[in-house]
Amino acid sequence: MAVSIEDRLRDLGIKLPDAPQPLTDHASIVASRGLAYLAGHGPTDSQRNPVVVGAVGAELTEEDGNRAARLAALNAVATMRAALGSLDRVEQVVRLTGYVLSAPGFARQPWVVDGASQLLVQIFGPERGRHARTSVGVNSSALRMAVTIDIVIAIS
């Protein structure tokens, strides 16, 4: 019998935050034709206040950025659960795009975004959690959040 994602979260000691609400007038997630598209999620608290701000490679270390990416992914998974009713409806994490607020010359965005990718593989397992990905550096971000991610998932 397959282990449920909720059981896996418990076994991993991962507690999801409340699903964050969008900062502006848009949906956090939209489902269409078996896919769900998650809007950008960042490292915020339950009131959508950014908790990791600044440019990686300047005010923040690569490790700080990696932790910010992980928190952004936790928020995204919380949105998935709230919208889908059950994380077991996630058939596959298809794609993740990570935007890293980067200091000039910082070029290790993939290692920063690994914080999100590794969490998704932990939660959904390698078969369902491994995904295609793009990691890019940006010189500005909403509320100066260190990392913003968006995700596409296949759903049942």
Report the domain count for the chain: 1
Nearest alpha-carbon partner for 150 in 89, 80, 103: 80
- Give the pLDDT confidence of 22-32 residue by residue, as tens digits: 878 999 999 99
- Give the pLDDT confidence of 112-149 residue by residue, as tens digits: 999 999 999 999 999 999 999 999 999 999 999 999 99
Q: Give the domain range for residue 40.
A: 32-155
> The domain spanning residue 92 has which CATH number?
3.30.1330.40
27 within domain boundaries: no
> Is the model more confident about 117 or about 47?
117
H-state helical runs in 37-150: 62-84, 109-129
